Every structure is written in structure tokens, then in C-alpha cells.
Chain A
Amino acid sequence: MQISCVCIAVMASFLPCAWAGEGPFFVTYTHQMEEPGNLEFSSKDVTGEPDGGNRFLGSALEFEYGVLGWWTTEVYLDGQATFGETTLFSGYRWENRFRVLPHEHWINPVLYVEFENINGADKTLLEVVNHDSQYDLAAPGAEARQEKQREIETKLILGSYVKGWTIAENFIAEKNVAHAPFEFGYAVGVSRPLALEARPENCTFCPENFQLGLEMYGGLGTHDNFGLAGTAHYVAPTLAWTLPSGTMFTISPGFGVTGVSAPFLVRFGVSYEVAQIGRKLKNFFGGRQ
């Protein structure tokens, strides 16, 4: 599971950088798109201990590529390890985000479409929908992995930048391609860098390199059982720290606020972005610039 972090660290030491990151959020998407031609590698990990279950570590390795100014595509590879059980690959996701409006407005919509091919043992918690609960996380992996989850997930992402603050709201609708009702969820977040002006010198610990945020996410039931009753919700302060090299570290303790939520989650991640990877590969293999 930690191999992904090591891989990103190794890449960071060899490849020229761009500044990674969509801010400090783990679940909430902003309307920021990946720059065209840039490839970002990220590891998003979460650990927790559900009631009646063992401590787990869910990990998603993310590859995000900017296809066009208004189109970003990503592939996730998910895995998990549960103490006293097995470590397993739990599936993949392919997502696409499309920016709808060409200019910045006070609120900016982005459409998100994802295909997930994961199994019931997936514990990456990249979103919470329907009546997802801590009891799902406590199910034994060998049993849970038998459940196939081939799903289409859509999101309406709304984002705003206001006087240095980033504000984002996500509305999630998910549908298993084979059966089951539409499932709904949400995520909202606010964040701000500790300083709005850059310093002239490169610095590791200057305030502009840190972003603080808060996100809240949870399930909203299904189309025939919509609402907050029996759903899991989390509140999570977040912190992101970007090194002058461009590598970004994020950490977020999350607190379950309803009885069916996992009481405490810790998320952590690292990301690194390679600018104009196509041109760099072409140059590397002897092409002309």
C-alpha cells in the first residue's frame, strides 16, 4: 500500500516539477482542471477502525491528465489492507470532468462522469453515498470482495473563488449498471492558503505553501428513500503543504457525526505533477522540441 507513496517520491526526485494539487480536499472536487498536457500522480489513503471490525488502510493511486483546457481525465487503482485479513486490489475507476463555461463566474459548474469497476471490499471512501455505513467497512474482505460494483457515478461540481477562499459543492448521483436504485450523496468544502501573496524567495515553510480547509461529506439515501435518516456524515479539517519542488502532502482527520459513520478516519496523501509530460517524453526519446 505504501509502495505508491514511495513511487511518487522517487518520481519527484527525477522528473521536473509543476505544482501539484487541487487544494487540500480528499473527497470534494473544486472546478480547477488539470493543465493540458500535465500528468499528476497522487496517492490518497485512509485508515480507520469501524465498530465490530478491524483497522483498515484503503489506498487509491490516482493518475490525472489534462486532455484539454476544459477536459480532465483520471484513472484510479484501488486497494486495501485490513489487519488480520488479506491485502487486496479492489478495482479501478475512470473519471472525466468537463468544464461547462469558458470563463470564470461567481459560481462555476463542472460535470463529472465516472465508471467504477470495484468490489464490495473497497475501502478507499472516495465518496459516501446512499446509506454507506461503518458496518460496510467491517465486513470481512473475503466475503465482501464477491460483491461486484460496476457503477456509473455522476457529479455536479460547483466551485467559487472568493477573496482567497475556495468554496466547492458536489452533488453525487450513482447507479449500479446492473441493478439497484440511484444513490445520492454530497460533499462540500472550503479552504484558504495561509498567505495570499507569494514571497520572492523559494521557501519550504512560508505560509503561502500551506492551505487549510474543512470538508463535509455524506450520503443522502436513494431515489425511493431520500434523506438524511440512517446515513453517514463526516466533518474533516484538512491541511496541505506544498514543497518548493512541487510535491504536495495532505492530511485530514475525519470525524463521523452520526451513529452509522465510522467514528474517526485519518486521510493522508501525496501528489506530484509532471508538466507537459508528452513533450518531455518526446524529447527524452529523441524527438524535436
Chain B
Amino acid sequence: MKRFMLFALLSLGGVFAQSPLQQAPESWRAKSNPFAGDAQAQRAGAKLYARECSECHGQNGQGIGKAPPLQRADVSHAPPGALFWVLDNGVLWHGMPSFAHLPAPERWQIVTFVQTSMGRKKPD
């Protein structure tokens, strides 16, 4: 029983230690961004980012307080579906709300902006 409890605690600890991007299920990570490479969607995403995200993550994604910076390689190189999953679910226990109330195309527009403007894509 003690071993089981220890295993359960370690598993739980492992889940919480993962970054939200790593917690995205494989089925979500496999989703492709319908707006990838769309300049208009990137500009719309910039508008949505300013409205929905910048108060916590900063106007340039530099991060403020508990809200982490988004100008990071693991964000710009993450599968777009993983970012979409984080927007859909939030990270409630760490203060990020769910943005599922935004229609899916608007969330993809935000993903497009964050991944193209807040970090540099790895060269192919």
C-alpha cells in the first residue's frame, strides 16, 4: 500500500512538474494550424493577443509576474496543437484561465501570432 501511495504521489508530482505544453495529449499535438503562414491571421492574432493575453504575458511576450514569457524556443517550436490545447484548457491551478470561450479560429489566430512573432522558427 505504501509503495502504491509513493508511486501515485511521484506520478502526480511528475504531471505537475511538466510544462503545460508537455501535458497536451498526442491527439491535440497532432492537429495542424489551419492558418499556418497566413499573414492576415497573424495580424488578427496580434490584435487578439493584445486583447486577451498581453495583460499577463506582456505586450511583447516577455512575461509578467507568474505568467511565463512566451519568447521561448519551446513555445515557438512547440506543435501548434499543443499551444491550442493550452489555450483551450488553461492552466487553472497556476492562474491561467481557459480561453475555450473564444471560437476555435480565433484561438488558432493567436497561436499563429505567438509562434511567428514571439520567437524565431528553427531553420529547416
Most buried by B among A37, A66, A200, A279: A200
Task: Find the B residue at minimum CB distance from A101.
Answer: B92
Most buried by B among A66, A69, A99: A69
Report the count of interface residues on A (CB-CB < 8 A).
38
* A70 B93 Cβ-Cβ under 8 A: yes
CB pairs A–B below 8 angstroms (27 shown):
A18-B51, A19-B52, A33-B98, A34-B97, A68-B95, A69-B91, A69-B92, A69-B95, A69-B97, A102-B89, A104-B89, A104-B98, A164-B103, A193-B103, A196-B103, A196-B104, A197-B41, A197-B103, A198-B45, A198-B48, A198-B106, A199-B47, A200-B40, A200-B43, A200-B47, A202-B47, A279-B64
Interface status of A32 (Cβ within 8 A of chain B) = yes
* B101 A166 Cβ-Cβ under 8 A: yes
Question: Given A103-B89, A198-B47, A276-B55, does the pair A36, B95 have CB atoms closer than 8 Å?
Answer: yes
Report A45-72 CB contacts with B as 1/0, cut-off 8 Å. Answer: 0000000000000000000001011100
Query: How far, in Å, is A163 (CB) from chain B's closest CB?
Result: 8
* A197 B106 Cβ-Cβ under 8 A: yes
Q: What is the predominant secondary structure among interface residues of chain B facing chain A?
A: helix
Contact check: which of B56, B95, B105 meets A196 at CB < 8 Å? B105
- The bracket for how many chain B residues form the interface is 20 to 34
Task: Find the A residue at minimum CB distance from B89.
Answer: A103
* A69 B104 Cβ-Cβ under 8 A: no
In the docked arrangement, what's the CA distance between A36 and B56, Å? 10
Query: How far, in Å, is B24 (CB) from chain A's closest CB?
Result: 11
In the docked arrangement, what's the CA distance between A202 and B91, Å? 29
In the docked arrangement, what's the CA distance between A289 and B26, Å? 38
Most buried by B among A19, A34, A104: A104
| 15 other A-B residue contacts (CB within 8 Å) besides A161-B101, A200-B43 | A18-B51, A32-B98, A33-B98, A34-B97, A37-B95, A69-B91, A69-B95, A99-B92, A164-B103, A196-B105, A197-B44, A197-B109, A200-B40, A200-B44, A279-B65
Residues of B within 8 A of A19 (CB): 51-52
Interface status of A73 (Cβ within 8 A of chain B) = no
Question: Given A19-B52, A68-B95, A276-B56, does the pair A32, B89 have CB atoms closer than 8 Å?
Answer: no
Interface status of A275 (Cβ within 8 A of chain B) = yes
Contact check: which of A35, A161, A193, A246 meets B97 at CB < 8 Å? A35
Question: Given A164-B103, A276-B56, does the pair A66, B97 have CB atoms closer than 8 Å?
Answer: yes
